[in-house]
Structure 1
Amino acid sequence: MKNSKKFIITIVLMAAINAMAGMSWWYIFDMARKEKSSVERLRIDVSATEKRLNNAHSLNNLLKNTEKDAEKISAVFLDSKNIVKFVEGLESLSRKSGVSLVIKSATLPGEKEAEKPKLSFRTKGSFRDLFQHLVLLENIPYQIRFDKVSFTRLEKENWQIDFEITILSYAPHENT
């Protein structure tokens, strides 16, 4: 009976130890499962944050590239603040081609008018120089319309051209 008591106590102790080991294993497994799901949520959050960050970088790069394009586009348009730049360009073209330039008149529309600026000017020089000036004028970075062009022979070698043009690439300045 002593042996049988020892045997029963041993079995009960072994069962208790096994039960405690099983409960400990289950507790550790449950904690690991919870941590695993927590880690998975964090990975998903990190992935989403990385995507947002990549999208932000892409958008930032796109905006930088767009700024360069916008600067190029706006350089083609004139507004009331930089119409003088156009006249200075005409003067520069006349110097390059060796002709004299006289601005006869300039008409700027009001701020709310839909009309475009008109410019009337005269160039004088040899026919060759005037032709070169005309070619240069056609290739300026602004869109213009020749409303009237009149060639007049003054002397043997000297000619004059009277121009009336409209600046089509004019965008009135808007206060924003």
Structure 2
Amino acid sequence: MTMGDLWPLLRPVCRRLALLGWASSAAGMAAGLAVAVASGTSLSPAMATLQRVSSAGIVLAVFSFTAAVFLQPHQERAAEAAREAAPDTGEALPSTLRSFLPGTVVLLLGAVAFAGAGLLLRSGPSPQSVAFCQVFGLAAAASGFTYLLFTRAAPHPPTENRPSSPPPES
């Protein structure tokens, strides 16, 4: 099973919220990178605006991803149908999906590193360290919430305690 196979298992509202989260993450990361690369020791009005766009991207991405994750129910019946249609590879989750979790941890470590570097400066955090923290934070949020969203939709292999087929409806 691939991530492309999991996409139809997401409810339409969750897909739209996830797309909004990914788009706002991309816009926020682009704005944060522009500030980090193009700003000097102080922010010009244009760079300050980009920093606000990046901050707005963080808020919008986290809100939309959180809403998508909580609105997406566990897909027990859809997961059962997908499990029957797909060959059993013995893996609970596709490897591409599993890679989002360690990626999230690495990106969070990057955000912590830039935050720590910014706090060690005598003058306090520079606009660059704040911008890089935003970029790494947004990337970690996008990666982590993507993992959460798709794991809720991914078929789970039957366990010994759980029956392999849903109980008949009465």
Q: Does the alignment reach a TM-score above 0.5?
A: no
TM-score (norm. length: structure 2) = 0.29
Larger RCO of the pair (alpha carbons < 8 Å, separation 6+): 2
TM-score (norm. length: structure 1) = 0.28
User: More helix by proportion, 1 or 2?
Assistant: 2
User: More strand by proportion, 1 or 2?
Assistant: 1
